[in-house]
Structure 1
Amino acid sequence: MTAPMYADEKAPRTPADVAELSSDESNAADIFNALVTEDHQHEIKLRTMSWQKAAWLLAGEQVCLAIMAQTWSLSVLGWVPGIITMVLSGILFWITSTTMHRFIMKHPQIRDICDFGYYAFGNSRIAYIFAGFMLLANNILLIGFHILTGAKILDTLSDHSLCTVSFSAICMVMGIIISAPRTLHHVSFMSMFSSACMAIAILLFLIYAGIENAPGAGYNGNYPTDGPVHTYAFPLPGTTWVNCLNAVLNITFLWVPQILFPSFIAEMEHPEEFNKSLAVLVGISTILFIVPPAIGFRYLGQYSTAPAFGSLATAAYKKSSFGFVIVPTLFIGAIYANVTAKFIYSHLMGASKHAHSNTVIGWGVWGLVMAFIWVLGFIFAEVIPSMGDFLSLLGAAFDSFFGFIFFAVAYWQLYKRKLFDGPGRTVMTVIHLFVLACGLFLLGPGLYAAVEAIIADYSGSVSPAFSCASLGI
């Protein structure tokens, strides 16, 4: 089957452009082969990733600074609710990701989460536009967060030798340069280095937390203002419902990266092997998302901060461990920028020769789009006073859809005529109903808690826009 992806070479991209390819879903393998063959005729080839490189890309996107915020989540929730939330989030992540992969195998023409929403909601143009808005908002805000994190790291390492805005600008320029490759195949190589650096940062933190006599400080004061270090099974007396829910959102945010998965699958040479990449990611995530935070909570207790590096008492320990995080910070920003730029670029260039060739116009537009994305992220990083609260807002407003609701709806589309055929299918149906309920809970009470936290921060003293004030930990 060699039908072109676009009826009109100059037409802008729309999710219905390749609708004819899904007319016979039993032919998914043939359709994927046709898409790969068509792609490999271009000068710039996108569908080239093996499952091993996809696994590295997934790990590079997941092994991030947010891991070091989980110790704080445990300090808010306590051992029992905290570990249960982590394990349950991991199980639901595995199930929903598997559902997503099966749905894409039924609709090989899906190229990103927007296409996924289009088909999951019954070829709905409204769903496509809505998903497109959320993709852009989520990714650009996350790019801004990574710029801000980069500035925080440079502030810490240099003892605030420059204005923080200058450090943010440096991170923005570095991000634009790193994001230059147009294929995720090349970005996957960066991910190996990124993951290794984050692993070193985590290992150093655990060593330092273990050898220090006591943590340096927590949100309730310097040690021992808040008493001896101790851990607890359940939230401490006085912990508010908003704090608990924000701690839960912090955990779910880490476990919900599926917004990028359809884009990754669309650049695999054999998309049917994505389940192997996913298995590798689940293994890595289960270890890194639970073990280091648990060890950190053991040594930091109620003095845990987010990120946990801030609780270390020795300045040299903070710098030597936190410094390694600059690499994954920029590389993960580059992954989000790549997916975001491709979405915009594909709409601008359609199926013209510039979309898949090394032309001056093609690279010029790509560079302008990439620069625009990072500059916009830079503006958000400087204007928003508390990116941590806005991450909770992203987790509630966007991850409720991209991590739960979308995949519950996709499951219904896959099995709507046999939802209760046999015990196994019935169990999976009940699980996906629970997934839907989780998504709606995050969208309702979760969003309320995130907004309440933002209001509380705005009611206090906040840094002015484009402030030079130090962000160092």
Structure 2
Amino acid sequence: MASVSEQSKFDEEKKQGGYALGTEVDVSSSFETINALVAEDHEHDIKLRTMSWQKTAVLLAGDQVCLAIMAQSWSLSVLGWVPGLITMVLSGILFWVTSITMHKYIMKHPQIKDICDFGYYVFGQSKIAYVFSSFMLLANNILLIGFHVLTGAKVLNTLSGHTLCTAVFSVIATIMGIVMSSPRTLHHVSFMSMFSSACMGIAILLFLIFAGIEAAPAYGYNGYYPTDGPVKTYAFPLPGTTWVNCMNAVLNITFLWVPQILFPSFIAEMERPQDFPKALAVLAAISAILFIIPPVIGFRYLGQYATAPAFGSLGITAYKKASFGFVIVPTLIIGVIYANVTAKFIYLRIMGKSKHAHSNTFIGWGVWVLVMIGIWIIAFIFSEVVPSMGDFLSLLGAAFDSFFGFIFFAVAYWQLNRGRLFSGLAKTGLTVLNVFILFVGLFLLGPGLYAAVEAIITDYSGSVTPAFTCANMAI
């Protein structure tokens, strides 16, 4: 069996600047390394590598069955049926291909603990790539947590009829997030994910029922019904639709389909990481249904009046509260998932190899709580000072998902298959597909980033929501 010091050797490699690009490990050696890492982990008080593939599937579903699903009807209203559905289906296919490539690469390098380690390896064991990936991980996750703080405040505003200042509701959501983030293992967080997925599923189902039984939607971004004419659907973007709007609608779809930033962290806490494709298959099946069917039905009934999220188009207040109210659970729990991954990254670099890193000590738990509080407070500040979190999520999708959803994995494919990229028809087809994946990532990083920045500039040129506002933000 391999030595249990594999992780120490990996850390030392990073300090020394690494070794040859694409150094490969054979399958038997990888399994020995996995067994050694699991055995070493199970000697600790706090055991991380304990998740089964079933628990991982639940965690994946808890992360992905989210409010962003309810923004896809708006994307269809911008793009129309043909470009919209093509983007959705293509995003799903690329999600599967890149996720499988990521897993194969991690099985070659099972010491990888997070997306930062992945970036370190995939770009030639580069410390610069590690630092760059670390910055993107922290920025992406903390802004996403801030988005969920803001969403929690919107839900509480909607349910209460704005009985308190919105900033107060944000504080309440932040405190709830901190308390729920106390577990130090994803194994425990996966239990919460079951409730998250169930509540989001109920919210989606109620919305579809209410949208179907209402005579017409109440509101769209071009005015209240029927100022924008009767509800209609269309195959292609309506005349006057700007390129920036189309690009942001595409980013909205790709953002939903690109969760791979968390996948290495999930795999690192599996007892049998080789079983991850089983969990991924469950997620792919769930995503294929929920990411396409509800948005299609929503667009059918809302047409050009679709908002993001679609709950905002409902006309009867009781319908909004009944459906949108369930969103508070996934909003907080998804924030907890991102907070756990972020806190673990920071925590393990603070604690290093000390006994507190994996033990139930006062210092260990004290540092964990302080790190978690710090993450949620920074996220709260972002949620209050950013004028439009929706546009900033488009910025995240362009700047970060271009790497974490596409570029990283096209490079990983090249490393895994060097010397045999065109050895047969099937391999040639996969190689061409991964070249396309690379260009998709570069396109999101170029024109996509430009469109996201243009949308933010437009926000600032108009009325900007003041920081720590008390204004009513109910949908």
Q: What TM bracket, shorter-length normalisation?
A: over 0.9
Structure 1 residue 416 displacement after superposition: 1.4
Pick from 48, 58, 66: which aligns with 1:56? 58
Q: Deviations over 1:372-391 (max 9, x none)?
A: 00000000000001000000
Matched with 2:181 is: 179
Instruction: Give the 5 Å matches for 1:47-446.
Output: 47-446=49-448
Cα 1:19/1:178, change in 2 over 3 Å: farther
* Separation in 1, partners of 2:464, 2:15: 46
Matched with 2:5 is: 4
Q: Deviations over 1:342-367 (max 9, x none)?
A: 00001000111000000000000000
Q: Which SS does the other structure have where 2:292 is aligned? A: helix
* Separation in 2, partners of 1:223, 1:283: 36
Structure 1 residue 273 displacement after superposition: 0.2
Q: Which amino acid aligns with 2:344?
A: K
Structure 1 residue 13 displacement after superposition: 8.7
Structure 1 residue 23 displacement after superposition: 7.4
Counterpart contact for 2:18–2:124, Cα < 8 Å: no
Q: Which SS does the other structure have where 1:395 is aligned? A: helix
**Identity across the alignment (%):** 74
- The RMSD of aligned alpha carbons is 1.6
* Separation in 2, partners of 1:7, 1:453: 45
Q: Deviations over 1:293-346 (max 9, x none)?
A: 000000000000000000000000000000000000000000000000000001
Matched with 1:469 is: 471
Contiguous gaps of at least 5 residues in structure 2: none
Counterpart contact for 1:5–1:18, Cα < 8 Å: no
Contiguous gaps of at least 5 residues in structure 1: none
Large movers: runs of 4+ above 6 Å: 11-14, 17-20
* Separation in 2, partners of 1:108, 1:3: 12
Cα 1:7/1:335, change in 2 over 3 Å: closer
Structure 1 residue 234 displacement after superposition: 0.3
* Separation in 1, partners of 2:26, 2:59: 28
Q: Which amino acid aligns with 2:135?
A: F
Counterpart contact for 2:140–2:400, Cα < 8 Å: yes
Counterpart contact for 1:179–1:334, Cα < 8 Å: yes
Q: Which SS does the other structure have where 1:358 is aligned? A: coil
Structure 1 residue 276 displacement after superposition: 0.1
Asked if 1:28 is matched to 2:30, the reply is: yes
* Separation in 1, partners of 2:425, 2:269: 36
Q: Which amino acid aligns with 1:114?
A: C
Counterpart contact for 2:6–2:33, Cα < 8 Å: no
* Separation in 1, partners of 2:347, 2:111: 18
Alignment coverage as a number of residue pairs: 470
Q: Which SS does the other structure have where 1:391 is aligned? A: helix
TM-score, with length taken from structure 1: 0.97
Cα 1:7/1:426, change in 2 over 3 Å: closer
Q: Deviations over 1:220-239 (max 9, x none)?
A: 00000000001000000000
Q: Deviations over 1:43-86 (max 9, x none)?
A: 00000000000000000000000000000000000000000000
Cα 1:313/1:23, change in 2 over 3 Å: closer
Counterpart contact for 2:7–2:37, Cα < 8 Å: no
* Separation in 1, partners of 2:353, 2:196: 33
Structure 1 residue 25 displacement after superposition: 3.3
Cα 1:112/1:13, change in 2 over 3 Å: farther
Structure 1 residue 4 displacement after superposition: 2.2
* Separation in 2, partners of 1:420, 1:218: 50
Q: Which amino acid aligns with 1:436?
A: L
Q: Deviations over 1:228-267 (max 9, x none)?
A: 0010000000000000000000000000000000000000
Counterpart contact for 2:62–2:194, Cα < 8 Å: yes
Counterpart contact for 1:12–1:349, Cα < 8 Å: no
Cα 1:307/1:13, change in 2 over 3 Å: farther
Matched with 2:451 is: 449
* Separation in 2, partners of 1:23, 1:128: 19
TM-score, with length taken from structure 2: 0.97
* Separation in 2, partners of 1:203, 1:352: 48
Q: Which SS does the other structure have where 1:52 is aligned? A: helix
